[in-house]
């Protein structure tokens, strides 16, 4: 082969190598751009759904009536009710104060935020009694979530925490925008009764679950006892130990059921008394303070 032919062949091979390298480079660039766009999309989705931008002390879970937060070693606040008037686009929140700080040098401050801890929205404290206060937040329908930051200012120190409201889970009611003190007191009593009845329902449900477990344990004991007729030695000892475990579990479940029933009886009596006090306020035409 002549030198010219060899040179031409070498040049052709070199061009093919360069073309392949160019294709590989272009392919790598496409993969890099695609990966970058994918990263941006998933990063944006994470930003919108993870709520990492919220303060770490917020639990992203609806604060159900009866739930409490501790503002300090001296004070605790309890959500009594979330009420939403669709017609007026108004959220009304009742919060119970900790009686332990009554009489001390303290004050409460409340701020509301819509969907994030940086989007502050207006509110009104429409009632501030000795044991509870009521907040109204207007124009809330455009928000999916409401955060209430409540602070306790006491002895030159401030303690705060959040209540979290999922607007899908609040009660739908008709709200009278201006009420007398006695009307707020009646609502407070009714919310207390509702919370107690919810506790009683939870205890009854727990007892039903425990009763089902007791039935299962007894069935297991019966099955083991029927098998023990054909067991000896170590195998019999093991099955006897299992019976003891089931018996111990039955005793514990029966004690819990008895304790729950006792608690339910107290709750029913307390609820009846609370509802009667609320009815007395209503019958008196809200004249009793």
Sign of the dihedral through C-alpha 273, 277, 278, 280: positive
Q: Give the helix ranges, DSSP H, for the chain.
A: 3-50, 181-227, 233-283
Give the whole-angstrom CA distance, residue 146 versus residue 164: 6
| pLDDT (tens digit per residue) in 44-64 | 444 444 444 444 444 457 889
| pLDDT (tens digit per residue) in 237-272 | 898 999 999 999 999 999 999 999 999 999 999 999
Per-chain mean pLDDT for the chain: 80
Instruction: Write down the CATH superfamily of domain 68-178.
Output: Immunoglobulins (2.60.40.10)
Is the pLDDT confidence value at 41 over 80?
no
Is the pLDDT confidence value at 203 over 90?
yes
Residues ≥6 apart with Cβ < 8 Å to 281? 182, 183, 185, 186, 189, 288
Kindly list the domain boundaries of the chain, sorted by start residue. Answer: 1-50, 68-178, 182-283
Give the whole-angstrom CA distance, residue 243 versus residue 221: 6
Which band of pLDDT confidence, cut at 50, 70 and 90, is reported for residue 7?
low
**pTM score, whole prediction:** 0.65
The winner for highest mean pLDDT among 18-27, 39-48, 156-165, 166-175 is 166-175
Which band of pLDDT confidence, cut at 50, 70 and 90, is reported for residue 85?
very high
Cβ neighbour number for residue 10 with a 10 Å cutoff: 10
Of 146, 150, 77, 70, nearest in space to 110 by CA: 150
Give the whole-angstrom CA distance, residue 126 versus residue 179: 9
């Amino acid at each position: 082969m002549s030198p010219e032919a060899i040179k031409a062949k070498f040049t052709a091979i070199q061009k093919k190598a360069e073309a392949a390298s160019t294709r590989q480079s272009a392919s790598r660039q496409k993969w890099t751009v695609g990966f970058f766009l994918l990263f941006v999309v998933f990063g944006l989705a994470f930003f919108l759904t993870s709520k990492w931008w919220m303060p770490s002390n917020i639990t992203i879970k609806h604060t159900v009536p009866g739930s409490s937060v501790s503002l300090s070693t001296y004070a605790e606040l309890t959500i009594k009710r979330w009420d939403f008037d669709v017609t007026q686009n108004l959220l009304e929140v009742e919060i119970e104060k900790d009686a332990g700080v009554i009489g001390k040098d303290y004050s409460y401050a409340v701020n509301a935020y819509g969907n994030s801890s940086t989007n502050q929205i207006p509110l009104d404290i429409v009632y501030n009694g000795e044991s509870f206060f009521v907040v109204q937040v207007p124009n809330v329908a455009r928000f999916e979530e409401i955060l209430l930051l409540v602070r306790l200012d006491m002895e030159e120190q401030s303690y705060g925490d959040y209540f979290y409201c999922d607007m899908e889970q609040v009660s739908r009611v008709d709200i009278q925008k201006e009420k007398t003190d006695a009307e707020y007191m009646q609502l407070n009593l009714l919310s207390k009764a509702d919370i107690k009845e919810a506790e009683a329902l939870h205890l009854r449900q727990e007892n039903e679950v425990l009763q089902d477990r007791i039935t299962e344990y007894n069935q297991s004991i019966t099955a083991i006892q029927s098998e023990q007729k054909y067991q000896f030695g170590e195998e019999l000892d093991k099955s006897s130990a299992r019976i003891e475990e089931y018996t111990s579990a039955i005793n514990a479940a029966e004690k819990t059921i008895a304790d729950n029933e006792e608690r339910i009886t107290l709750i029913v009596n307390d609820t009846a008394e609370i509802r009667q006090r609320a009815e007395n306020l209503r019958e008196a035409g809200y004249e009793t303070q």
